[in-house]
Structure 1
Amino acid sequence: MRIGVTSVFVDDQDKAEAFYTDVLGFQLKHKVPLGEYHWLTVVSPADPDGTELLLEPDQHPAAKAYKSALSADGIPMMVFTVDDIDTEYQRLLDRGVYFTQPPQPMGQVVTAVFDDTCGNLISLNSPVATD
């Protein structure tokens, strides 16, 4: 068994597609019309056949409440792993990404948290180099 698709609730699929592809650098995998919305997934260019991230509309009231509660408490919706957090942090700052937390050591990882413009906080994690 393996994870094929995971999702993040977004308030606007078009805005989410632009942010996750143009700003973050993910690749569009699927965009299938489903009535008013799409089955809209992105993947890492480093693993195009790997886990897909579904940019799922947050139209269900429970989804909106869930997102709002997590964001209000400063809890990231998901974690993306990067090799060099300082380089990625600067790259995303240069692209206008708003960080709620700059890179900080947290045990065996360094984390930074940003706002995905779609109602979610996302954590970047990078393993701490061990000598």
Structure 2
Amino acid sequence: MRIHLTSVFVDDQETALRFYTDVLGFQRKHDIPMGGARWVTVVSPEDPDGTELLLEPSGHPAVQPYKTALVQDGIPAASFAVDDVQEEFGRLSKLGVRFTQEPLTMGAVTTAVLDDTCGNLIQLVHGE
């Protein structure tokens, strides 16, 4: 068994697609119209056949209270592995990305948390 697909709820799919591709560097995998929304997934360019991230619309009434509670408590909706958190922090900061947690080393793990502009906190992590 392996994870094939996971998702984050986004306020606007087009804004999310631009952020996740143009800023974070993911690649669009699928973009299929589905009524008023789309089935939009992105993947890592390092693993284009790997786990897909669905940019899922936040339309369900339970989603906004859930997302708000996570952000208020500082809980990331997803975690992305990077080779060097400090390097990604610098690169993304120069692109205007807002971080809610600057790089923090806790033993063998370093993390940082960013705002994805679509209502989510995303954790960047690397281990030594």
The normalised TM-score by structure 2 is 0.98
> In the aligned structure 2, how far is the partner of 1:101 from the partner of 1:29?
29
Structure 2 runs not aligned, ≥5 long: none
Q: In structure 2, what is the equivalent of residue 6 of structure 1?
A: 6
Unaligned runs of 5+ in 1: none
- What secondary structure sits across from 1:75 in the alignment? coil
1:104-123 equivalence runs, <5 A: 104-123=104-123
| CA deviation string 1:26-80 (max 9, x = no partner) | 0000000001100000000000000000000011011111101000111111100
SS class of match (1:122): strand
Q: Which amino acid aligns with 1:21?
A: T
Q: 2:40 matched to 1:40?
A: yes
Identity percentage of aligned residues: 63
Q: C-alpha distance in 2, partners of 1:67/1:106?
A: 26
The answer on 1:75 being equivalent to 2:80 is no
Deviations 1:72-103 (A, max 9, x none): 11111110000111111111011110001110
Aligned to 1:95: 95
Partner of 1:15: 15
Moved over 6 A (4+): none
Deviation at 1:2, TM superposition (A): 1.1
Q: In the alignment, residue 103 of structure 1 is paired with which amino acid? A: P
